[in-house]
Structure 1
Amino acid sequence: MKLMKTEDAVGQVLCHDITQIIPGVKKGPVFKKGHVIQAEDVPVLLSVGKDHIYIWENDENHLHENDAAEILRQLCQNEYMSASEPSEGKIELTAEVDGLFLADTERLFRLNRLGEVMVACRHSGFAVKKGDKLAGMRVIPLVIEAAKTEAARAAVGTKPLFRLVPFRELKVGVVTTGNEVFYGRIQDSFTPVIEKKLAEYGCRMAWHTVLNDDHEKITAAANEMLREGADMVLCTGGMSVDPDDKTPLAIKNTGASVVSYGAPVLPGAMFLLAYAEGNRPVCGLPGCVMYAKRTIFDLVLPYLVAGVPVTADQLAAYGNGGLCLNCSVCTFPNCGFGKA
């Protein structure tokens, strides 16, 4: 790369985009990288403040910003993502499907700690829609040493930094529990909430039963749904520590492997997560899921629908950010709930 007076640069090759900004009208490149400067271009370049211009000189020890950005893209992009064309050293990734966006935050930190290169992404662990912006990456200097991109490769390794896991169209079984509902003392207002949340992810309730607080019946109903092919079973109600609350015992007796009974999230502390044969989730949903705007169920449901296992460590980590502030206008997931 060589700096020249603009008037002397006719016939030379631009090594970067030249941006023109007209407030309220335009912001974009007036000339693109690789453009051969003509005599008629000189007044235009001077009008955008370019009294001097960088022209390209080949150097095997350095990379142009766009070429280096392409290396960053290779380190970041995985399936179900599309990439923009490099422009001024920047590339953006966009979702090609609805799914769960996941970032390896430790390796992302190592990359950004190198300096002269940067990658920024939306928060990991949340649902995205097709067309959503996922990440952006940029090279800071116009020209970067090739050794810096090699250091980036070493920091990231061969596995891409980001994953987008498509959502599955699950068939879900719902076991509604509680004497008050079973005997008709109150209306079942829990099941409609569950159906609505499932529909947000393209899933449907294929089995439903209402039972009293008999743990043997709850166990039998959940197991029957699993035998008939349910991809997930949700048991609603009966999740507290009252003597009549038998749902946790019923789920344990299905034979499913319990990940955790309880989570450091409010609302949703009494949530229970287990996995039956075939890694099919069996969940006990506390009553707050019925009336609170957002709960622990909203944090884990994208993982369950994507088929990404939820671990006890992940649940424990929700303690940092796991307090919903119950805002008068809910903006979830564009808020701090569930984000460390």
Structure 2
Amino acid sequence: MLFGPVPLEDALSGVAAHSVRLPDGVIKKGSRLDAERIARLRSAGVREVVVVRLEPGDVPEDEAARRLAEAAAGENVRVEKPFTGRSNLFAQAAGVLVVDRDAIDRLNGTDEAITVATLPAWKPVEPGEMIATVKIIPFAVPERAIAAAQSAAGAAPLIRVAAFRPLRIGVVSTLLPGLKPTVVRKTVRTLAERIAPAGATIVRDVETPHEAAALADALAGLARSDAQLIVVFGASAITDRRDVIPAGIEEAGGVVDHFGMPVDPGNLLLLGSIAGRPVIGAPGCARSPAENGFDWALQRLLAGLPVGRAEITRMGVGGLLMEIVQRGQPRSGDNPGHDPAEDDDS
């Protein structure tokens, strides 16, 4: 690509590299300098203009952006028609954004002329939401640069939306004398609001004493029902793999896959399964509508994405979330009389 100032008489068929203000208007950056525009420039006293000329093997910015955007787009992603070297990508379904970060990094590293930016991976998105953009910096790039970027990115789509599924959810709330019924009901309503964007519904809502045997009976019943995912809200936080909720899962014939997560609030989340159904032992912070680690696990399960030890242990970077009012012990400040065993918030 040729770029630089040329005498006006040599600018015909070039592309204006910068906008030029004239008494009768503006010749915008990227405009083709045809005879009419050249005449306007001459009448305004312009004698020299900075132009761009493509050389053999150059790919115009819009075409380059389109090709890379279409190569990056996967399931449930729409590519917008490019303009000024930019092609935006939009979600076509409600779900979780899945991004191949390593491939995006490789693509962005191939040539400074080529850039791809996305929303954070694993973010829940809505239909029509902009999720990524491909921007070509100059007016054109060599074909070899596009080929190198495509090669670096690989054959698989880089950006896709795992669509939410309208799962049927069973809920168990364990009870202790100090837990107000209004708290239990509000917790279930908050869950219903959380799953509404996915079209999921609560089909079973069970209350039981905070005892392993009673919980096991409730879980076994849900495992025989039409519930596809089970959420357990404990009257007291899970503090050990031998605590009431994990013990109840195992007594019901299930397994505990992982306990704890590097997301705060949300540290005390538990994952298990019964009869092929995922079970989430919710941390206390899940009673709040504020974002916490429970959301991260729940959203992926609703989108049909794997959630196990490998996925949970990779959530630490970015896992320090905003403080929430409902936490029994805020991160900052001294509380010498606090007993961690009584902390149901994380």
TM-score normalised by L of structure 1: 0.80
Q: Which aligned pairs between 1:184-333 and structure 2 lie closer than 5 A?
A: 188-237=185-234, 238-241=236-239, 246-278=244-276, 280-291=277-288, 293-326=290-323
Q: Distance in 1 between matches of 2:43 and 2:89?
A: 34
SS at match of 2:177: helix
Q: Distance in 1 between matches of 2:290 and 2:263?
A: 14
Cα 1:221–1:148 shift into 2, 3 Å: same
Question: What residue identity is the alignment partner of 1:97?
Answer: A
**1:266–1:323 Cα contact (<8 Å) kept:** yes
Q: Distance in 2 between matches of 1:190 and 1:311?
A: 24
Which deviates further from its counterpart, 162-171 or 135-144? 135-144
**1:180–1:186 Cα contact (<8 Å) kept:** no
Q: Distance in 1 between matches of 2:261 and 2:308?
A: 11
Q: Distance in 2 between matches of 1:273 and 1:162?
A: 27
Q: Which residue of 2 aligns with 1:334?
A: none
What are the superposed Cα offsets for residues 137-168 of structure 1, whole Å, 9 maximum, x if unpaired? Answer: 12223232222222112211110111111111
Which deviates further from its counterpart, 207-216 or 138-147? 138-147
Q: Which residue of 2 aligns with 1:338?
A: none
Q: Distance in 2 between matches of 1:256 and 1:306?
A: 22
Which deviates further from its counterpart, 123-132 or 179-188? 179-188
SS at match of 2:190: helix
Q: CA deviation at 1:283?
A: 0.6
Q: CA deviation at 1:292?
A: 6.8
Q: Distance in 2 between matches of 1:109 and 1:177?
A: 46
Q: Which residue of 1 aligns with 2:333?
A: none
Question: What residue identity is the alignment partner of 1:105?
Answer: R
**2:16–2:49 Cα contact (<8 Å) kept:** no
Q: Which residue of 1 aligns with 2:99?
A: 103
Q: CA deviation at 1:233?
A: 0.6
Paired residues, what number? 317
**2:90–2:128 Cα contact (<8 Å) kept:** yes
Q: Distance in 2 between matches of 1:119 and 1:46?
A: 41
Identity %: 25
Question: Are 2:162 and 1:165 equivalent residues in the alignment?
Answer: yes
Q: Which aligned pairs between 1:41-60 and structure 2 lie closer than 5 A?
A: 42-43=39-40, 51-57=49-55, 59=56
Cα 1:277–1:186 shift into 2, 3 Å: closer
Q: Which residue of 2 aligns with 1:332?
A: none
SS at match of 1:235: strand
Q: Which residue of 1 aligns with 2:134?
A: 137
Q: CA deviation at 1:102?
A: 1.0
**1:263–1:271 Cα contact (<8 Å) kept:** yes
Q: Distance in 2 between matches of 1:244 and 1:257?
A: 12
Q: Distance in 2 between matches of 1:248 and 1:255?
A: 11
What are the superposed Cα offsets for residues 182-239 of structure 1, whole Å, 9 maximum, x if unpaired? Answer: 9969764422222222224322111011101232332232232232221211011144
Question: What residue identity is the alignment partner of 2:59?
Answer: L
Cα 1:79–1:41 shift into 2, 3 Å: farther
Q: Distance in 1 between matches of 2:205 and 2:187?
A: 12
Cα 1:19–1:69 shift into 2, 3 Å: farther
Question: What residue identity is the alignment partner of 2:256?
Answer: V
Q: Distance in 1 between matches of 2:103 and 2:43?
A: 43
Q: CA deviation at 1:16?
A: 7.8
Cα 1:102–1:88 shift into 2, 3 Å: same
Q: Distance in 1 between matches of 2:168 and 2:269?
A: 21
Question: What residue identity is the alignment partner of 2:96?
Answer: L
Q: Distance in 2 between matches of 1:99 and 1:41?
A: 51
Q: Which residue of 1 aligns with 2:109?
A: 113
Which of 82, 86, 89 is the equivalent residue of 2:82? 86
Q: Distance in 2 between matches of 1:177 and 1:45?
A: 82
Cα 1:168–1:18 shift into 2, 3 Å: farther
Cα 1:119–1:21 shift into 2, 3 Å: farther
**2:16–2:33 Cα contact (<8 Å) kept:** no
Which deviates further from its counterpart, 119-128 or 87-96? 87-96
Question: What residue identity is the alignment partner of 1:103?
Answer: V
**1:92–1:133 Cα contact (<8 Å) kept:** yes
What are the superposed Cα offsets for residues 269-325 of structure 1, whole Å, 9 maximum, x if unpaired? Answer: 2110123445x3211112222147232112222101101011312212223332233
SS at match of 2:62: helix
**1:6–1:52 Cα contact (<8 Å) kept:** no
Q: Which residue of 1 aligns with 2:344?
A: none
Q: CA deviation at 1:113?
A: 1.4
Q: CA deviation at 1:36?
A: 7.3
Q: Distance in 1 between matches of 2:79 and 2:61?
A: 16
What are the superposed Cα offsets for residues 4-28 of structure 1, whole Å, 9 maximum, x if unpaired? Answer: 5444444x3x568976899xxx9x9
Question: Are 2:143 and 1:125 equivalent residues in the alignment?
Answer: no
SS at match of 1:317: coil
Which deviates further from its counterpart, 240-249 or 150-159? 240-249
